[in-house]
């Protein structure tokens, strides 16, 4: 049967060139389908980076604004260093609005602070200063449109002075709740809903457009496959009526039917699935690698290496299982041949008591098929778990390395999310490319058989033959003299020096010595009118 599993083309390159030549009539639809397949893959590649950006925006809205907290702390504590205080001593001592008592308290506090090396202790002394002194030391400033007053700055320092070095997130949020409203406005978590909406809408449009492109290209390739298959069937239908009888002597009817059904279906299915899949998978594979290195080269190497480890195992298993798949096809062919031979000549088998021998041989061939099938199915059954292993191992590696890089502020959390998606986009195309290439091998073999049939030499033109027998004048007396009949593939003639006469009303049959048929066409029977 044509287009069987594991069958390869005699000339793959030549077969594919001929196939594409025959597809010229559909080049516009095929071009549109391939362009849409590429665009769909490109959109899928862009999506993870936007997903990373969306994740970062949501993460930022769930945690304290650490940048503002650091800036706020810096702006407030800059007024507490010794140089700044010394610059303001003159202002404080010459100010008429500050009482002598407050000035004296300020001088006493400054004397105490000179003997203290701990910063928190110094802040505590400064917080005990009179309000008139604090208003000079802490100047009001504006941050993100919010004014931070002197009293708010003092309260912020008072709360932060109680914070330890090993502060956990829950304690920090509790401290922020105690701070003045102006401080909370600056450092509290802020969800940028507008930005999140824009990114989410962009992602939705991206995924919908990608799905639409994939759907349209699938429709286009399905249309091409069906129309091309219809064209091939029509051409074969015309061709089969133009072939000489010698072609059917050399080739079995089953082989011809296989070319019309199995081989054409193989070509159609492959065109519908493999061609666009191969182009989109290659685009996705190359594009994913580029985007991974563009995003972060360390994470890119981690994702690629973790995936390749699994693929090495997969290719090793494929190499070992290939011989069992080939053996399965060979043994299955032997078993089918034996079954066909026994059932087609069942009467002869029974007459000559060949049942036991036929059963013994059947059991032997069936056992060989079972063994080859068991080994091939066992090894092929390992593919799916290995693919799961590749994906999961890649996710784990990306998460571990990503966590280390995030802790060192080298990447954001969103990059980890993006690379988890990239691992899937990187591994899936490899298996799809391998599957598509296997299908193309079957397509090339099937197309070779179909085009080989279409290229067969036709019988000569019969238009010039105008002689017609008149039924009224035909007597029906036929005589054969020294007739010789020989098949093209046989060394010796089947019939030699055959002479016979068929009188009107007689039936003449040509049979073998055992009265069993000698060829696929059976015995020849002539009825004389």
Neighbour count for residue 415 (Cβ, 10 Å): 24
Q: What is the pTM of this model?
A: 0.62
Tokens of 152: 């708010």
Neighbour count for residue 432 (Cβ, 10 Å): 19
Answer positive or negative: Cα dihedral of 361, 366, 367, 373: positive
User: 228 exposed, middle or buried (CB, 10 Å; 0-12, 13-18, 19+)?
Assistant: buried
Return per-residue pLDDT of the chain as tens, 529 residues: 344 434 566 777 788 888 888 888 888 888 888 898 889 888 888 888 888 888 888 877 777 777 777 788 787 777 666 677 677 777 777 777 778 888 888 778 777 766 666 666 666 777 777 777 777 777 777 887 888 887 787 778 777 777 655 555 566 677 777 788 888 787 777 777 888 899 889 999 999 998 899 889 888 888 888 888 888 888 888 888 888 877 777 776 767 777 787 788 888 887 777 778 888 888 888 888 888 888 888 888 888 887 777 677 767 776 666 666 667 666 776 777 778 777 777 777 777 787 888 888 888 888 888 887 777 777 667 767 777 777 778 788 888 888 888 888 788 888 888 888 888 888 778 777 777 777 777 788 788 888 888 888 888 776 666 677 777 777 778 888 988 887 766 778 878 888 888 888 787 777 765 554 444 444 444 333 3
User: 89 exposed, middle or buried (CB, 10 Å; 0-12, 13-18, 19+)?
Assistant: middle
Find, among 214, 224, 213, 216, the residue nearest to 20 by Cα.
224
Give phi and psi for 503, each to the nearest 5.
-85, 160
Q: CA-CA distances (angstroms) from residue 505 to 441, 444, 511?
A: 57, 53, 20
Question: Residue 279: its pLDDT value, please?
Answer: 84
Domains, the chain: 12-35+194-454 (1.20.1560.10), 66-187 (no CATH), 478-527 (no CATH)
Query: Rounded CA gap, 398 and 402, in Å?
Result: 6
Rounded-to-10 torsion of CA 52, 53, 57, 62? 10
Tokens of 73: 């702390």
Place of tokens 């995936």: 307
């Amino acid at each position: 049967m044509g287009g069987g599993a594991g069958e390869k083309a005699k000339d793959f390159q030549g077969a594919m060139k001929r196939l594409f030549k025959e597809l010229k009539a559909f080049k516009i639809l095929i071009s549109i389908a391939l362009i849409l397949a590429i665009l769909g893959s490109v959109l899928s590649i862009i999506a993870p980076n936007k997903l990373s950006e969306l994740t970062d925006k949501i993460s930022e809205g769930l945690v304290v604004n650490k940048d503002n907290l650091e800036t706020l702390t810096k702006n407030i504590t800059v007024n507490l260093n010794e140089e700044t205080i010394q610059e303001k001593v003159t202002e404080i001592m010459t100010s008429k609005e500050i009482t002598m008592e407050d000035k004296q308290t300020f001088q006493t506090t400054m004397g105490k602070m000179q003997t203290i090396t701990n910063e928190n202790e110094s802040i505590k002394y400064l917080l005990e200063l009179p309000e008139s002194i604090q208003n000079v030391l802490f100047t009001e400033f504006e941050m993100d449109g919010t004014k931070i007053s002197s009293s708010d700055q003092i309260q912020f320092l008072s709360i932060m002075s109680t914070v330890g070095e090993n502060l956990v997130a829950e304690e920090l949020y509790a401290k922020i709740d105690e701070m003045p409203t102006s401080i909370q406005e600056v450092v509290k978590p802020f969800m940028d809903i507008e930005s999140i909406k824009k990114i989410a809408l962009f992602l939705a449009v991206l995924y919908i457009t990608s799905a639409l492109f994939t759907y349209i290209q699938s429709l286009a390739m399905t249309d091409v496959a069906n129309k091309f298959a219809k064209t091939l069937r029509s051409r074969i239908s015309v061709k089969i009526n133009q072939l000489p009888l010698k072609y059917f002597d050399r080739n079995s009817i089953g082989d011809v039917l296989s070319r019309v059904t199995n081989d054409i279906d193989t070509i159609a299915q492959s065109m519908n699935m493999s061609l666009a899949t191969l182009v989109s998978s290659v685009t996705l594979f190359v594009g994913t690698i580029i985007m991974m290195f563009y995003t972060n080269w360390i994470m890119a190497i981690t994702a690629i290496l973790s995936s390749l480890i699994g693929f090495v195992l997969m290719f090793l298993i494929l190499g070992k299982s290939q011989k069992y798949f080939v053996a399965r096809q060979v043994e299955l062919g032997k078993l089918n041949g034996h079954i066909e031979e026994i059932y087609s000549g069942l009467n002869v088998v029974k007459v000559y008591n060949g049942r036991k021998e036929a059963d013994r041989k059947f059991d032997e061939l069936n056992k060989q098929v079972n063994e080859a099938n068991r080994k091939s199915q066992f090894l092929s059954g390992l593919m799916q778990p290995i693919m799961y292993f590749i994906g999961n191992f890649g996710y784990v590696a990306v998460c571990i390395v990503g966590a280390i890089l995030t802790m060192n502020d080298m990447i954001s959390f969103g990059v980890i999310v993006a690379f988890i998606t990239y691992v899937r986009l990187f591994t899936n195309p490899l298996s799809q490319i391998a599957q598509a290439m296997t299908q193309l091998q079957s397509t090339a073999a099937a197309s070779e058989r179909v085009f080989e049939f279409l290229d067969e030499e036709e019988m000569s033109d019969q238009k010039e033959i105008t002689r017609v027998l008149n039924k009224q004048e035909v007597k029906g007396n036929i005589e054969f003299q020294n007739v010789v009949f020989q098949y093209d593939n046989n060394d010796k003639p089947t019939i030699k020096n055959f002479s016979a006469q068929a009188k009107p009303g007689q039936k003449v049959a040509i049979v073998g010595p055992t009265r069993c048929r000698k060829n696929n066409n059976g015995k020849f029977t002539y009825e004389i009118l």
